[in-house]
Structure 1
Amino acid sequence: MLDYANELSADCIILTGDIVNGATVNNLDYLEERLNSLRSSYLYTPGNHDWEYPGEPWGEGTRQAQYAKFNRYAEGNPAYQSKTTEAFC
């Protein structure tokens, strides 16, 4: 879908979570590679599948432990972001 968004010259991409399955090093490297391929701005908020970590119990403790890994993709705040554009986004 990200390649398609580039083909469309989308003004902004909104990713609402469950983009990767677990906050592993390889998954985060892949996420970064794909986000860097975008020609437009984007907003990314991780979902529960993004921040879960293999072998760790699913829950608030795991989310808190893993969430900071997404700061670099979410303007320092994985919980929410905003962006002003000329076009509807």
Structure 2
Amino acid sequence: MDGATYLTAFVVGHTIASNARREVLFVDGGLLRGKVQAVTYGQLTRSAHRRLLRLKDRIPARYEEMAGADLSARVMRGVTAGTEAAEALIR
């Protein structure tokens, strides 16, 4: 990997104290090297739920013109190709 290392970390808890900072930035030599963000379990689950709903909305539109058997065959071809590629890397 080229370039400077940058890290993002999350601290997850039930609540965040009112005197706690929600984000801490790490700077070294004038370069931003990373940040740590505090989030609650509720924030994390709401974010995941929103992302899942968007995915659920996109999937049917992408495959709505394919019959069940055709879709199943396409998925299995992808799984087989992925397995073959992984096996080739191991060899």
Decide which structure has greater strand share: 2
| Structure 1 and Structure 2 fold alike (TM over 0.5) | no
TM-score (norm 1): 0.25
The structure carrying a bigger helix percent of its residues is 2
Tell me the TM-score normalized by structure 2: 0.25
Bigger CA radius of gyration? 2
